[in-house]
Amino acid sequence: MTTTTPDRARLRELFDLRSSYNALTGGLYAADPYPIWHELRTTGPVHEGTVHELTGHSENLYFQGLPFPDRPHYSAFSYEACFEAFRNPEMFASSSEPVDPVSGSYGHNNSMLTMGGEQHHRYRGLVQPSFLPNNAKWWIRNWIEECVHELIEAFSADGHAELNVDFCAAIPVLTITGSFGVPVEQALEIRACLNTDQARVIEILVPIVAARRSEPQDDLISVLVQAELTDENGVTQRLSDNEIYSFSLLLLSAGSGTTWKQMGMTITALLQRPDVLGAVREDRTLVKAAIEETLRWTPTDPMFSRFVTEDIEFFGKDIPKGAVIHLCVGAANRDPERWDDPDVFDIHRKKRPTLAFGQGAHMCLGMHVARAEMTVGLNALLDRLPNLRLDETAEQPAFVGMYERGATAIPVLFDVT
């Protein structure tokens, strides 16, 4: 992989959590929601209403399962309730409508993200091998490692940097677009168009798909064009262009839109605790523990939604068929029934599975790639930036957002050798 560093000004424009686009998901929410979520969880595992309404945010927000004003909404806040909903896809479906990736329109709402049952199993199985833990080295070797070090090289002689956008945001977008064979100069254009002009994204992908069909390479787009899907009648065939485009839009969006926020929050949590950062610097086995604890303590996507398929009594609430239930994994990951002192950031706590990446059949496909990006990125910062610390003269990073949470700018200083 040969890269050049992306334009910093463009990165900042696209990855500002408080931008007009992110405002639609509650990006301007600057309070700490966890005390309210704690009270809600204490008074009952499930409540009527949306997470943001129950948190006291009255504006209309758009996210998975929102807004759907014609449907009743419920929200779960305990670990047990969220876990049960994730593990019962027949009762709690990921889509309100059937999904048709062949003849339907391409996009997130017509992809494996919203599929259920055997259909989801067949489509997910096509790409899952590329995202398994033992393939993390493939991602690191081909895209992640070189990208990380080139980004650091761009500011390592300055003695200062802004890590959230110039570093954290750039790594995932360059990794996922690189795995699609997209040149760096088009990577940020794809990111900009994913939610506003998907036709332009497809336009960029058309020649790449055609080229990989005739001559596959060692990349993710080649995996898609060579994939063979066996339908319910036992007929095997290659994916259509429409199916590939739906896959691509989902993978490009997920791959470039979440890990950067989680990485930024991990780095911020450590920088705000110099003693913990020092311990991680000295003992790199703690890098993994720091990442996992941040995923528990403050996941970047603190809510997922499901559509209820039958009338059900669920943790004391009668929920009708057709309702939307919002699973507040942020609250679930701090459930005192599961973790001692759950509000404390403690990288030495006993590891237990969290809901940061979901659970069940729709558990995040790219979670091992995300962990690899964060691990390589954090280790490289500690290796190459001696005495890394927050710049106390600049505005300090804060966690913001309702349904997509992340850190604001992370200004740092370090010694130049």
Domains of the chain, CATH where assigned: 8-413 (1.10.630.10)
Give residue 105's pLDDT band: very low, low, confident or very high (50, 70, 90). low
pLDDT surpasses 60 at 132: yes
pTM of the model: 0.91
What confidence score (pLDDT) does residue 100 get? Answer: 58
| Mean pLDDT of the region 34-60 | 97
Tokens coding 22? 């992110």
- Which helix (H) or strand (E) is 306 found in, with range? strand 304-308
pLDDT surpasses 90 at 15: no
Q: What is the CA radius of gyration of the chain?
A: 21
> In whole angstroms, what is the distance from residue 347 CA to residue 364 CA?
23
> In whole angstroms, what is the distance from residue 357 CA to residue 295 CA?
8
Q: Show the 3-state SS of 243-281.
A: HHHHHHHHHHHHHHHCHHHHHHHHHHHHHCCHHHHHHHH
pLDDT surpasses 80 at 237: no
Which residues lie closer than 8 Å to 262 by C-beta, 6 or more apart? Answer: 294, 295, 299, 300, 370, 374, 406
- pLDDT tens-digit series, residues 212-227: 999 999 998 898 888 8
- pLDDT tens-digit series, residues 350-403: 999 999 999 987 788 888 899 999 999 999 999 999 999 999 999 999 999 999
- pLDDT tens-digit series, residues 263-319: 999 999 999 999 999 999 999 999 999 999 999 999 999 999 999 999 999 999 999
Buried/exposed 251-269: b ≥16 CB within 10 Å, e otherwise: bbbbbbbbbbbbbbbbbbb
CA-wise closest residue to 396 among 415, 377, 412: 412
